[in-house]
Amino acid sequence: MKKIRWGILSTAKIGLEKVIPAMQKSQYCEIVAIASRSRNQAERAALKLNIPKYYGTYENLLADPDIDAIYNPLPNHLHVPWSVRALEAGKHVLCEKPIALSAEEAEALLNTTQRYPQLKIMEAFMYRFHPQWLHAKSWIEEGKIGELRTIQSFFSYYNIDPDNIRNKADMGGGGLMDIGCYSISLSRFLFNSEPNQVTGMLDMDPRFQTDRMASGILKFQNGTSLFTCSTQIDSYQRVHIFGTRGHIEIKIPFNAPNDQPCHIYLQTCSGMEKATFEICDQYTLQGDQFSLSILNNTGVPTPLVDAVFNMRVIDAVRQSSNTLLTVTL
């Protein structure tokens, strides 16, 4: 069976603990190399995960002719620069979210991709590949909850480590970029449209100068989405989706476990319906779907323009918080 040969840019924790092991279980992915700025660190990661090759620079990995695609889990401020360099090296790119530091930077990346029409690039919002989300969206499209009116989402964890990249402003840290982007993405995904007004409020950490809590209201043509995320609140996540005749609850919406079944719930006047999904890994599914788009030369599951639109909303949340005004998009 034909597989896409993958190289991993950096030994980031998400790659080592989540994405690489998941992609190694996939049908269409083969992890052939990993790179770090430290050759020793790359070697340790390669030995631990049984990756054949390792490099002490990102440049050397991109120069490897045996690599078809790269996964970019670098800190946020390096997403666009190294994704561009990967494209220039002739590699397909799966880049972690958020794709950029701003909509302007995301648009610049999108413009760059026009020079490489033969290459695929996608933002890695893995949650969209989990069957619980596909099923929830099908419930909405089938009218199970009537007309979609509002979404409420919450995502938090507690992290005050000054050395963590999520607490470094110059690296694109903060809760809005790290986890608030999920709430924005899922809102656009479920409404299948873009918000026309955005109101945001950020609570900044005085030490890190990053947002430790962010809340937003997104106004769509037919409804609203309200979210809060935080990097300094006890870990919790939940999504509620409300319609005119029912609502859906997703209990583990983002970090869906890969070792136990997942459940979502539909409540209507007829009672409660529970949908159960067999054990799967959303990172495996993401890797396979992206690899298939390369093998079959088809469009990627989520076009890069979606990442640009998501960044526009993120920018609007920031602008609204800074000006204390609602932003019209």
Q: Which CATH number fits domain 129-284+311-328: 3.90.1640.10, 3.30.60.50, 3.90.420.10, 3.30.360.10?
A: 3.30.360.10
Digit-coded pLDDT (tens) for 172-181: 999 999 999 9
Where do runs of H (alpha helix) occur along the chain?
13-14, 20-23, 39-49, 58-62, 79-88, 103-113, 131-141, 175, 181-191, 282-295, 304-323
Phi, psi of 46 (to 5 degrees): -65, -40
Q: Is the pLDDT of residue 8 over 90?
A: yes
Determine the CATH number of domain 4-127. 3.40.50.720
- Classified as helix, coil or strand, 236 is strand
Compute how many other C-beta atoms are within 10 angstroms of the C-beta atom of residue 131. Answer: 17
Q: What is the 3-state secondary structure (H, E, C) of 14-50?
A: HHHHHHHHHHCCCCCEEEEEEECCCHHHHHHHHHHHC
Task: Write down the mean pLDDT value for the chain.
Answer: 97
Compute how many other C-beta atoms are within 10 angstroms of the C-beta atom of residue 148. Answer: 22
Q: Is the pLDDT of residue 91 over 90?
A: yes
- pLDDT value of position 1: 73
- pLDDT value of position 30: 98
Stretch 20-36: mean pLDDT:
97
- pLDDT value of position 142: 97
Q: Where are the domains of the chain?
A: 4-127, 129-284+311-328
The helix (H) or strand (E) run that includes residue 55 is: strand 53-55
- pLDDT value of position 313: 98
Residue 13 known to be catalytic: no
Q: What is the 3-state secondary structure (H, E, C) of 71-121?
A: EECCCHHHHHHHHHHHHHCCCEEEEECCCCCCHHHHHHHHHHHCCCCCCCE
Q: What are the angstrom distances between the C-alpha of 325 and each of 197, 199, 217, 243, 321?
A: 10, 7, 12, 28, 7
Stretch 34-55: mean pLDDT:
96
pTM score: 0.96
CA dihedral 146, 311, 304, 180 (to 10 degrees): -60
Compute how many other C-beta atoms are within 10 angstroms of the C-beta atom of residue 245. Answer: 13
- pLDDT value of position 51: 97
Nearest to 155 by CA among 204, 222, 213, 225: 213
Q: Which one-letter amino acid corresponds to residue 34?
A: I
Compute how many other C-beta atoms are within 10 angstroms of the C-beta atom of residue 39. Answer: 14
Q: Do domains 4-127 and 129-284+311-328 have the same CATH topology?
A: no
SS3 content of the chain, % helix, strand, coil (to 5): 35, 30, 35
Buried b (16+ CB within 10 A) or exposed e, 67-99: bbbbbbbbbbbbbbebbbbbbebebbbbbbbbb
- pLDDT value of position 12: 87
- pLDDT value of position 117: 97
Q: Is the pLDDT of residue 223 over 90?
A: yes
Digit-coded pLDDT (tens) for 183-209: 999 999 999 999 999 999 999 999 999
Catalytic entry in 18, 48, 91, 97: 97
- pLDDT value of position 127: 98
